[in-house]
Amino acid sequence: MEQQISAGISRTIQTRLVLPPDTNHMGTIFGGTVLAYIDEIAAITAMKHSGKVVVTASIDSVNFLSSARIGNVLILEGVVISTGRTSMEVYVKAECQDIETRGRTLTTTAILTMVAVDENSKPTPVPGVIPETDKEKNLFKSAQARKERRMKLNEFAKELV
């Protein structure tokens, strides 16, 4: 029987202050900066789950819902939501918090696929995941549909070359 690990083991939270160099001419955070933060937290989350070094295989979806501004605190949370033999899907959400009001706004959501690799950079098996929250359970149930979509997109991309 394959080893299974609770999703909570991988849960990772990072907090960042949005500073002027992180922002565009409108005073809002660059999308690329947010993507870099998302990729980093997804990697840490997947490494905590697998106990292995990981690489990013895909970023399936990124939804920019609102902007963080200079002086906001950006709170990122990642969790492994499904696994394959060597891959892990990681859900990341980013919220910005206004320091004065303490109010939080969801700014970005993303799903990434990370692959565990061994010392020779070859894919290596990972434990399964046991979802805990209702959101995690729903994302777990829809994992196969996302995998099929990824595979179709990969085939389509190969045809374009």
Mean pLDDT (the chain) is 94
CA 150 to chain centroid, in Å, comes to 16
Over 90: is that where the pLDDT of 151 sits? no
Check residue 121 and give its pLDDT.
95
Amino acid at residue number 8 = G
Residue 54 pLDDT level (bands cut at 50, 70, 90)? very high
Asked if 131 and 140 count as a contact pair (C-beta separation under 8 A), the reply is: yes
- Per-residue pLDDT, averaged over 127-142, amounts to 93
Amino acid at residue number 35 = L
The pTM (predicted TM-score) of the whole model is 0.91
Read off the CATH number of the domain in which 105 is found: 3.10.129.10
Over 90: is that where the pLDDT of 154 sits? no
Check residue 110 and give its pLDDT.
97
Check residue 124 and give its pLDDT.
97
Check residue 113 and give its pLDDT.
96
Of 129, 128, 112, nearest to 55 by C-alpha is 112
- Per-residue pLDDT, averaged over 151-155, amounts to 82
**CA of 121: how far to CAs of 53, 82, 135, in Å?**
9, 22, 32
Residue 44 domain boundaries: 4-160
pLDDT in tens, 20-35: 999 999 999 999 999 9
Residue 80 pLDDT level (bands cut at 50, 70, 90)? very high
Query: How many structural domains is the chain composed of?
Result: 1
Asked if 19 and 72 count as a contact pair (C-beta separation under 8 A), the reply is: no
